[in-house]
Amino acid sequence: EGAKLGAPPSPKPEGAQWADPLRVEDRVNWRADGEGELKPGYSQIFTISADGGAPRQRTFGRFDAQGPLAFTGDGQGLLFASDRAKDWERDPGEAEIYRLSLADGTLTALTHRVGPDYAPAVSPSGKQIAYLGYDNARHRGYENQLVYLMDADGQNARALTAGLDRSVDNAAWSGDGKSLIISYVDKGVTKVARLSLDGKITPVAEGLTGGGLDRPYSGGDYSLARDGTVAFTKGDPAHPAELAVTKGGAARVLTDLNADLLAAKTLGKVEALAVTSSYDKKPIGAWMVTPPGFDPAKKYPLILEIHGGPFSAYGPSFSTDDQLYAAAGYIVVYSNPRGSTSYGEAFANEIDRNYPSHDYDDLMSVVDAAIAKGSVDDKRLYVTGGSGGGALTAWIVGKTGRFAAAATQKPVINWASEVLTVDGYTGMARDWFGKMPWEDPQAYWARSPLSLVGNVVTPTLVVVGDHDLRTPPSEAEQYYQALQLRGVPTALVKVPGASHGGIAARPSQAAGKAAAILAWFERYKAPPAAK
């Protein structure tokens, strides 16, 4: 490819050890966190006989076909999602549901609107299609995913969950075709419910948790049997997810995968913490973890631990990081400040074009609420968080000197450089800022923690995976070197081979990262004196 852009390469002398050839890239989407540089090509649909044989390619062209796939009721077609517009690679928030005729390969678009439509599910009768999607015409930071229903030919499309004001993660048809089983997160708690075709919602199960262990993110999954039994991943702050089943009554837990491990451990207790924001008196969902053997008459150091996203949510879930911090003698508080999901679109979009902002006030209110409980040493306050929580950590130490030490993990530090180096650059600048960095540089700078680095006095550790493509190492390195230039105590921790999403994927590295943060906090017993 390099020869196409310049002079042809010189003939290679016999026996010469030449350098690798030039690498030329011209794709819009060319890398992804966790995958690195993407192999050339497009995702296409293939079919293979149930009896075996050669696979047969069914879709073609310079477009991606997205799963999950669904056969039409008559078995003569396949449903899938795809964005097949001319400039599709520059518009990540777009896709339509297509019907592929298995007889002649004809493609028919069944949806037609601005925004992504995906995950088609065909009713048992074959006459209706449920699917997920949202209207992206506003290009806001966050939109709820809704469940929609349409006829098999794409007619009479309507939203079924517009009144829920929660984002639905998936939907599956009941055996009789009269309802759907859906899951969604409500105030940090993942729930499964029955959704009737007139929009009525009836609870089925709650307390789902996901497979991530390091931090207490909401999550979880379920599967629906033909007889209506729902299998799901059930957990709580003291237990990672186990498999459970329910058929309308109390859930029955089928596994106890961590019995031997947990029997030998004393865990910190996790309880809800009542918080009201100092900014506008909104209630803020929060939890407090107390150390094993907690004595309310004693004073303990406190760690404020902040979730990423920023459009995501913590919940009453198991967390190795928080339990390790508690085991080391710290009270830990975590919360869902404005911008968090599962509290409605309006709450999430409090930070639309406005992040960081009053989420700072929410987080300080969480700390104040924990101190008011009476067992926190207010001279030994610490703060850490990852991704969006890393950005907020750096923002916090630029706003206040009340923390004895901080650890910003995989942060965004400079929004202009972030949106131009992130793997998902085609959507971040447009949806989170509305303008490009060169069109409104002040808006980018005003929301960048780097703009506040001149105020920082807090000793701050900087942590990042060296294969992170979501908040690239260059973000962390900017902050580390800025702190060094200012003479603020700092250190840079790089996790070898770790992507953004995979920074805690290897247990040894997850434990090592938490240990490094605790060691940093133990160095500093009080906030630095004012200069």
131-141 burial: b if 16+ Cβ within 10 Å, else e: bbbbebeeebb
pLDDT digits (tens, 9 = 90+) for 155-165: 999 999 999 99
Note the Cα 498 to chain centre separation in Å. Answer: 16
What amino acid is encoded at 223 in this protein?
S
pLDDT digits (tens, 9 = 90+) for 354-369: 999 999 999 999 999 9
Residues 203 and 150 in one domain: yes
Question: How many structural domains comprise the chain?
Answer: 2
Inside any domain, residue 166: yes
pLDDT of residue 3 exceeding 60: no
State how far the Cα of 117 lies from the Cα of 513, in Å rounded to an integer.
Answer: 39
CATH of the domain at 62: 2.120.10.30
For the chain, the helix, strand and coil percentages under 3-state DSSP, each to the nearest 5: 20, 30, 50
pLDDT of residue 531 exceeding 70: no
Residues 204 and 331 in one domain: no
Residues 134 and 277 in one domain: no
CATH of the domain at 278: 3.40.50.1820
Inside any domain, residue 182: yes
The closest of 285, 357, 349 to 314, measured between CA atoms, is 285
pLDDT digits (tens, 9 = 90+) for 477-490: 999 999 999 999 99
- Quick one: what percent of the chain has pLDDT higher than 70? 98
Note the Cα 169 to chain centre separation in Å. Answer: 13
Residues 234 and 328 in one domain: no
Which pLDDT does position 301 carry in this prediction? 98
Q: Report, in angstroms and rounded to the nearest whole number, the Rg of the chain calculated over CA atoms.
A: 25
Burial class (CB in 10 A: 0-12, 13-18, 19+), 14: exposed
Residues 300 and 171 in one domain: no
Which pLDDT does position 2 carry in this prediction? 40
Q: What residues does 37 pair with on adjacent strands? A: 31
Which pLDDT does position 7 carry in this prediction? 62
For the segment 443-463, the average pLDDT, to the nearest whole number, is 98
Question: Measuring CA to CA, how many Å separate 169 from each of 173, 348, 439?
Answer: 14, 16, 35
Inside any domain, residue 237: yes
What amino acid is encoded at 294 in this protein?
F
Which pLDDT does position 530 carry in this prediction? 65
Determine the structural domain holding residue 180 and report its residue range. 37-257
pLDDT digits (tens, 9 = 90+) for 239-273: 999 999 999 889 999 999 999 989 999 999 999 99
For the segment 342-363, the average pLDDT, to the nearest whole number, is 97
Instruction: Indicate the residue among 236, 257, 278 that finishes a domain.
Output: 257
Residues 400 and 506 in one domain: yes
Order the strands of the 77-82 sheet from edge to edge. 66-71, 77-82, 96-101, 107-109
pLDDT digits (tens, 9 = 90+) for 300-315: 999 999 999 999 999 9
Inside any domain, residue 67: yes
CB-based contact 95:117 (threshold 8 Å): yes
Peptide bond into 291 cis (omega under 30): no
pLDDT of residue 20 exceeding 90: no
Residues 196 and 270 in one domain: no
Residues 274 and 251 in one domain: no
> In the 8-state DSSP scheme, what is residue 93?
T
Residues 246 and 319 in one domain: no
pLDDT digits (tens, 9 = 90+) for 514-527: 999 999 999 999 99
Inside any domain, residue 21: no
- Quick one: what percent of the chain has pLDDT higher than 90? 92
For the segment 141-169, the average pLDDT, to the nearest whole number, is 97
Q: Is 486 left (phi over 0), alpha (psi -120 to 50) or beta?
A: alpha
Q: Rounded mean pLDDT of the chain?
A: 95
Which pLDDT does position 205 carry in this prediction? 95
pLDDT digits (tens, 9 = 90+) for 81-90: 999 999 999 9
Inside any domain, residue 244: yes
Instruction: Indicate the residue among 199, 232, 257 that finishes a domain.
Output: 257
pLDDT of residue 397 exceeding 50: yes
pLDDT digits (tens, 9 = 90+) for 399-420: 999 999 999 999 999 999 999 9
State how far the Cα of 303 lies from the Cα of 514, in Å rounded to an integer.
Answer: 12
259-291 burial: b if 16+ Cβ within 10 Å, else e: eeeeeeeebbebeebebebebeebebbbbbbbb
pLDDT of residue 454 exceeding 90: yes
Inside any domain, residue 16: no
Instruction: Indicate the residue among 257, 280, 303 that finishes a domain.
Output: 257
pLDDT of residue 8 exceeding 80: no
CB-based contact 188:235 (threshold 8 Å): no
- With bands split at pLDDT 50, 70 and 90, how would you rate the model's confidence at 1? very low
Which pLDDT does position 11 carry in this prediction? 83
> In the 8-state DSSP scheme, what is residue 283?
B
CB-based contact 362:392 (threshold 8 Å): no
Residues 501 and 474 in one domain: yes
State how far the Cα of 102 lies from the Cα of 69, in Å rounded to an integer.
Answer: 13
Residues 273 and 251 in one domain: no
Residues 406 and 317 in one domain: yes
Inside any domain, residue 25: no
Question: Measuring CA to CA, how many Å separate 478 from each of 168, 307, 456, 488?
Answer: 38, 22, 14, 14
